[in-house]
Amino acid sequence: MKNVIQVIVIAVLGFSSSAIAQQTYALDWAIGINGSAASLTIEAGDTVEWTWADALSHSVTSDGDAQESFDSGIIGGLGSTFSYTFNQVGTNGYHCTPHPSSMFGVITVEQGLSIEDKFQKNVTTYMDQTTGKIMIQSLLTLTSFEVFNILGVQQHSGALVGTSGAIEMNGYASGVYIVVLHHNEQSVVIKVAKR
């Protein structure tokens, strides 16, 4: 009887942890959205929802060598959506059939990703030299940031809200800075260069 109870408890715990981990992630989909802006690393069972960010007709179509096969068909109109739940571990290149050279990405599906793994694998940043801002895009909601100079002296900190944001760097000297981005208790460290 004790073994039966242990098996049931293990089965319930295993089921509940995988059910909790399943999430839906949003990607904008329009002309010029490609590469890292259209790529995610997610867990098996997670869903990606693409939202048309322009008025043109697009598709979300898996590449021939993708782990899973999916195709939205041609859908037109700003605000249109297509969702797909990825269940197999592997790499899924995809593109827009009418605009394959300017709209493409990769959804990488891994088994058993922690929230920290999802956060660290899905943060993109770049230094916009014309505006003097660090531009940030994250799969998970950002809560705060810290900026340190190369010597480790904190230069700036503040709150972030949402999955994208910008950190003002005007007034800072040229050089390399360390930026720590936070999602609740999780952190990711990046380096940026200001010219």
Give the Å distances, CA to CA, from 80 to 66, 94, 164, 167, 181.
24, 18, 21, 31, 31
111-130: pLDDT as tens digits: 888 888 888 888 888 888 88
| Region 116-194: CATH code | 2.60.40.3080
pTM: 0.70
Beta bridge partners of 146: 157, 180
Every domain of the chain with CATH number 2.60.40.3080 lies at 116-194
158-183 pLDDT, tens digit each = 999 888 899 999 889 999 999 999 99
Q: Which helix (DSSP H) or strand (DSSP E) does residue 119 occupy?
A: helix 115-121
Nearest CA among 183, 158, 185 for reference residue 169? 158
**CATH code at 24-113:** 2.60.40.420
4 within 8 A of 75, measured Cβ to Cβ: no
